[in-house]
Structure 1
Amino acid sequence: MIEIPSDLHKDLVSLAFLLGTWEGAGVHDFPGAEKCNFGQELIFRHDGRAFLEYRSRTWVLDGEGNKVRPLENETGFWRVTSNQHGAQGVREIEFSSVRDDGTVEIWYGELADGKPQIDLATDAVARIEGGPQYSGGKRLYGLVNGELMWVGEKSAPEVPLRPYMSAQLKKVLNPAQLVKDVNDLPDDGIAFFR
């Protein structure tokens, strides 16, 4: 079940499935970069305004799943925009992001009709001098059986668009909510199991 906070801006209701802290692991593989498994913490939060704040931290994992070193950090903002193409039910998404390697991206995409899935593609890419060669990308995010899954594709001047990162993330439980849920149990606690 997707919970919609009462103070969530009305324009963001369709993105409520993203809210929270997500953790999991994935695979990174792109020519010229280290192929590895990575861990990820992904946070979507809101403050009542018409955007979601986004923060992603990833780190290289060793064969036992231990953190070895940081891989990539990214922050940004997600917005739902008005339908500019006249198609009924289409909700367009804008995502602006900056990564720790000096790459800045503007993404546009659509929320799938009737399911929690978002397809995005870069509209603009800028990078600092000395930043990695990168010319564009695509991403797909989706909620599948309560887990947030995503895959990213990217291209560089010498590499055509291809998948390079994907992850499967589980929602991290909020301890404050757990305490509330325990307080809502019957006094004897046994009635819950009857």
Structure 2
Amino acid sequence: MAFTIPENLHPDLMPLAWLIGTWRGKGRGEYPNVPGFQFAQEVSFNHDGRAFLNYFSRSWIIDENDEIIRPAASEVGFWRVKENNVLEVLLAHNTGIAEGWVGVVKGAKIQLEMDQGYSSPSAKIVTAGSRLYGLVEGELFTSYDMAAQGQTLQAHLWSSLERQSEN
């Protein structure tokens, strides 16, 4: 599905215009001491005319027949583009974690590195992270590498999502 740039999109957000909309698809995950798993995911990027995107992601653990087993992670946040296509992202997770990310937008590719994190007293401690978002053959590809619970930075999640609608 092609996209159109909204008339009231803030000029600072033009480098992210290709993200705006709702995306759905599937992914896989793994991590030490966690068996590999599949998940369904829905991600939405929208705006209200100001210089940031609203972000919402939710996911469900699925079985080999793509049937939902249970709800999984969800996160909300804000994405802001600064000078020279530097991207600042704030995320809060349903698991009690909040993070600041910094990266760069290069066309339809975004690379982010975790800048700072906060974990509530009952949440796992994430010490580092790297995220990649890219438009690959019309689909939104995402990956998340994580260092947590004493582990080094390594692959954790990746997904491929199809555009469902524009917001």
TM exceeding 0.5: yes
Residue 109 of structure 1: aligned partner: 103
Runs (4 or more) in structure 1 with deviation over 3 Å come to none
Note the residue ranges of structure 1 that are not aligned, 5 or more in a row: 84-90, 175-194
Alignment root-mean-square deviation, CA = 1.4
Residue 177 of structure 1: aligned partner: none
Note the residue ranges of structure 2 that are not aligned, 5 or more in a row: none
Distance 1:156 1:173, change over 3 A: closer
Paired letter, 1:51: F
Residue 165 of structure 1: aligned partner: 157
Name the structure where strand makes up a greater proportion of residues.
Answer: 2
For 1:1-194, what aligned pairs fall within 5 Å after superposition? 1-83=2-84, 91-112=85-106, 115-173=107-165
The alignment partner of 1:35 has SS state of strand
Paired letter, 1:76: G
State the shift of 1:96 in Å. 0.1
CA deviation map 1:6-62 (0-9, x unaligned)? 100010011001000000000011113342100000000000010000000011001
Query: What's the % identity of the aligned pairs?
Result: 37
CA deviation map 1:109-141 (0-9, x unaligned)? 0011xx300000000010000101311100010
CA distance in 2, matches of 1:133, 1:34: 19
Q: TM-score, normalised by structure 2?
A: 0.95
CA deviation map 1:62-101 (0-9, x unaligned)? 1100111111000000000123xxxxxxx10000000000
Q: TM-score, normalised by structure 1?
A: 0.82
State the shift of 1:3 in Å. 1.6
* Count of residues in Structure 1 that have an aligned counterpart in Structure 2: 166
Asked if structure 1 preserves the Cα contact closer than 8 Å seen for 2:61 and 2:71, the reply is yes
